[in-house]
A and B are shown apart, each in its own frame.
Chain A
Amino acid sequence: MRDRLRQLWLCYRLQLKILLISPFEGFLGIVFPLMFATATLMVYAVNGDEAAMAYAGLGAAVMGVWTSVTVSASTLLNRERFAGTLELLVAAPTPFSMVLMPITTAMATVGLVSVGITLVWNRLVFGVQLQIQNWLLFVLSVLAATVTIAMFGFLLSVVAVRYRTAWALGASLEYPGWLLCGFVVPIALLPVVLHPISYALAPTWAVEAMRIAAAGGNPWNELTVCLALGLGYAAFAAFLGVRLIDSARRNATLALT
């Protein structure tokens, strides 16, 4: 157990190091979320409704984590393929899920940094005041959003082991995710038929928990559902990972670029 935790920690640290010295990841992780938050708040600013601006400001901050993880995670394994490291990772005795998890968590950490930067940006550029009644639960909710989005990224990345074009999946999920998770538009405004999808996405619950914590309410129910969904993603990804790797080994698609 101790060795496993050490492996996860060291792999996480080194993967984060790779991301932090990558100009592409830096751009994707910091500048993109600021651009999206700016566009969102400019739309909301038309009505001059401060409550709506605060609502959108919080959601826009989490959009950055969602964007950086869904896009990066779905291209993760193709990048490993191009680097020639994918086969080495699969050939290692460490379970593949334990190899991927620290990588997607490192990606989410970059997203977490963007949450803070976006909140500061919202304040400085648009004057959106962040009124937080319960900081502890708010921070916990932000962390829950980060961790569960990382688990969602883990699930996405596993699919790309077998299907090389699965990177497109991440790109196609980026914008629908903003709406489905209720980052900038309340879920109640979406067609009812989409609600089950929204409720199956952990960030929906995380961002709701953030709003409740900010308003001084009790977000534990939302946090519990959010973390349960995150665990569900991780378990499903681990289950799927073994099968998809076997399939890739059978079809000789691990090394193809």
Chain B
Amino acid sequence: MSFNVERGETFGLLGPNGAGKTTTIKMLITLLLPTSGSASVLGLDVVTDVREVRRRIGYVFGGDRGLYDRLSGLDNLRYFAELYGVEPREQRRRIGALLELVGMTGREGERVEGYSRGMRQRLHIARGLLHDPDVVFLDEPSIGIDPVGARELRATIASLKDQGKTVLLTTHYMFEADELSDRIAVIRAGEIVAEGTPAELKRRVAIGRVLEVETYGVPEPVVSALAELSAVRSVAVEERDQFQVLVLQCDADSDVTQEVLARLSGVRVGRVGVREPTLEDAYVQLVTA
């Protein structure tokens, strides 16, 4: 794969599990050595200019791990500030500013083991920004965070752009990628299958329409039969609590509703609706095509 990210841009990297998002990020942050090809960050080669690349990038990943639970949030930040070469005179001011940025002022003296997942994630962001990096890599930063925490986190990520940071973001949440990214690359099995602004990606499926059908216990052969309809480009099944939602990407000038319902004759059907495509539809089409 080959892609460029402009300075000051927020670039989203989307793809299913195992597509190579994290591997790409880990190569760019010098944790993995590429087996072939080349990659550079800020014009520095990630294989030969390792130390300099590390000085100028920040890395934040999602989840509970990556912090010393027995230390306080403040001690964690002090520890990593030393390892990332933050000037001793700068440390106090920088840590204070970052705690403010991530909304953790007043909680920094508590041990990390008592933090909620959202607090840990905000502390991760602060840690990743300690040395004021030019480029920030965010690998699924909002994974497992509640909606309020995720919204706050998105606001923090958006503020990085205002500070002039270049951000490379991976996420499974399409609305997050849509809201934050200037451009997006969709990867599948280590290859870029689409690249562009969120609007451009949506337009790729905008010539079509999306039919959604709620079903209760739809069998796999029926789903396969629906995919064979001439006006249907793809069918995805989204599992909900008690039912499944069939998401059919259809040609724009087609009306396949009756045909679809006819093929679902033996299946209990709930609501049926037609809507405009979203980034998620574009993504599903790209990675399942």
Interface residues of A (CB under 8 A from B): 3, 6-7, 10-11, 14, 17-18, 21-22, 82-85, 87-94, 99, 246, 249-250, 252, 254-255
Chain B positions 121-152 with a Cβ under 8 Å from a chain A Cβ = 127
Partner of B31 from A11, A14, A85, A249 at Cβ < 8 Å? A249
Whether B51 lies near A91 (C-beta < 8 A) is no
* CA of A7 to CA of B23, assembled, Å: 30
Pick the most buried of B63, B69, B83, B127: most chain A CB atoms within 10 A of its CB.
B83
Instruction: Give the chain A neighbours of B79 by CB distance below 8 A.
Output: 10-11, 14
Partner of A85 from B32, B66, B82 at Cβ < 8 Å? B66
Interface of A is mostly: helix
Whether A88 lies near B71 (C-beta < 8 A) is no
Q: Is B67 an interface residue (CB 8 A)?
A: yes
Instruction: Give the chain B neighbours of A88 by CB distance below 8 A.
Output: 59, 66, 80, 127
Whether B85 lies near A252 (C-beta < 8 A) is no
Partner of A92 from B54, B64, B88 at Cβ < 8 Å? B54
Interface residues of B (CB under 8 A from A): 23, 26, 29-33, 51, 54-55, 59, 61, 63-71, 75, 78-80, 82-85, 88, 127
Instruction: Give the chain B neighbours of A94 by CB distance below 8 A.
Output: 82-85
Q: Which residue of B lies closest to A98 (CB)?
A: B83
Instruction: Give the chain B neighbours of A90 by CB distance below 8 A.
Output: 31
Instruction: Give the chain B neighbours of A91 by CB distance below 8 A.
Output: 29-31, 54, 59
Instruction: Give the chain A neighbours of B61 by CB distance below 8 A.
Output: 84
Pick the most buried of A87, A90, A250: most chain B CB atoms within 10 A of its CB.
A87
Whether A11 lies near B82 (C-beta < 8 A) is yes
Q: A21-B70, A84-B65 are in contact. List 20 more A-B contacts (CB 8 A).
A: A3-B85, A3-B88, A7-B82, A14-B68, A17-B70, A17-B71, A17-B75, A83-B69, A84-B67, A85-B65, A85-B68, A87-B26, A87-B59, A88-B66, A88-B80, A91-B31, A94-B82, A94-B85, A250-B33, A252-B23
Give the 8 A-B CB pairs with smallest separation, nearest first.
A84-B65, A92-B83, A84-B66, A93-B54, A7-B82, A94-B83, A249-B33, A250-B33
Given contacts A10-B78, A91-B31, contact A18 B83 (CB under 8 A): no
* CA of A21 to CA of B111, assembled, Å: 11
24 contacts between A and B (CB under 8 A): A7-B83, A10-B78, A11-B82, A14-B68, A14-B75, A14-B78, A18-B71, A22-B70, A84-B67, A87-B26, A87-B31, A87-B59, A90-B31, A91-B30, A91-B31, A91-B54, A94-B83, A94-B84, A94-B85, A249-B32, A249-B33, A252-B23, A254-B31, A255-B26
